[in-house]
Amino acid sequence: MEYVLTILVLVLVATMLVMSVRIVRQQRVGIVERLGKFHRQLDPGPHLVIPFIDRVTETLDMREQVVPFPPQGVITEDNLMVSIDSVIYFQVIDPVRANYEAQDYTAAIEQLTQTTLRNIIGGLDLEQTLTSREEINGKLRLVLDEATGKWGIKVNRVELRSIEPPPTIRDAMEKGARAEREKRAQILLAEGQRQSQILSAGGDRESAILRAQGDRESQVLRAQAERQAKMLTAEGEAQAITTVFSAIHAGQPDQSLLAYQYLQMLPEIAKGDANKVWVIPSEVTKALEGLGNALGSGDSDAGERFRSAIGEFSAPPKVDVMAEIAEQKHQDAAESARTVEKAVAEARSLEQQNPLRRPPLGRQEEPRQVEGRAPGSYAPPPYRTTAGPSSQQPPAQGPGFTSPGSPTSGS
């Protein structure tokens, strides 16, 4: 029996020792009540309490706590329902008051937050609610901090996580935001195109200016080159003319030499395709007659000058120029006679075929025969014309025919 009592006493003592020792963790505080009344506060660490007399009622967390609240509907000033989701950061600074002043300070803070949000949002319209989050947070923190101060709680920060307008308003806002974004995109695109066009126009302007300057410089250089070329050509022609005239002047030319030079140019004149008809004036015929007379007479000075001029300008050495001239005169005279006879025959045949043909009005003259010339004279070649339906040969005989060397010619 004594052995059993000893064991019971030992068990009771051990139980009382265990119940009297309390350990409080870091960042937590315990509240001790003795016989139902607040006795003391237990800080972190081990503590001894009297069993069955002292009771540790609560241990409070002294760290900053984060309490999120579910979304709640709030009506704005323009009678639109918005859903607001908020979160509060608070900290217990007086555990005794937090334990005895509020039954459940977390629930009290939640209810106070909801009522305060309704009051603040009720004075704002939807646009202000969406754009004034910082202002709402500041007002809400001030109200909560003042209300929870007597509870031994410090509200450090209040944040609105989301503000959701009604679906219809949300769609309209999305459309407006989309339109605004498209507008800004178009503005930026137009501004970019404007800058691009400005830069492109500036580049085209600079290119046109440089191109114009290059064209101007090339034209100036081309004009200078043409001017120098023309000056050199003119100087060459002037020197050539001066040389030719100096040579002619040194040869002391007369009418006979000029007539011979004219004879040399006649074949060149006849070579052109546009030369359909060519006529020898009577003055040239007279000059040629003077040439023949000078060659046939004994004028030794004129002949000597003529031979020296011919030898200098045209005749090659060791060529009998006088014989060639005489032969050419006989050939031209024979050709002229044959041409005249052929033209007279054709005219007579045409008159016989067409008896109604009348002679042309005007001066009627007797037909003239081509007189033969002395061997020392020169007969000019006949008129030349190209064969064609619209071309007419000059009359070789009959009315209207005048010998190029006769006094009645149009010279």
Condensed to tens digits (0 to 9), the pLDDT of residues 125-181 reads 888 888 888 888 888 888 888 888 888 889 888 888 888 888 888 888 788 888 999
Q: Is the pLDDT of residue 306 over 70?
A: no
Question: Across-strand partners of 83?
Answer: 73, 164
85 and 74 within one domain: yes
Q: Is the pLDDT of residue 203 over 80?
A: yes
Q: What is the largest CA-CA distance in the chain?
A: 205
77 and 23 within one domain: no
**Structural domain of 154:** 64-165
Domain boundary among 61, 79, 100: 61
Domain boundary among 195, 216, 251: 251
Domain boundary among 165, 197, 221: 165
Condensed to tens digits (0 to 9), the pLDDT of residues 23-80 reads 788 878 888 888 878 888 888 878 778 787 878 877 788 888 888 888 888 888 888 8
332 and 312 within one domain: yes
Number of structural domains (the chain) is 4
User: CA-CA distance, 100 to 153, in Å (whole number)?
Assistant: 12
Q: Containing H/E element for 268?
A: helix 255-270
What CATH number did the domain enclosing 75 receive? 3.30.479.30
SS3 61: strand
User: CA-CA distance, 24 to 48, in Å (whole number)?
Assistant: 11
SS3 33: strand
User: CA-CA distance, 286 to 256, in Å (whole number)?
Assistant: 10
Angle between helices 321-353 and 282-296 (to 10 degrees): 140
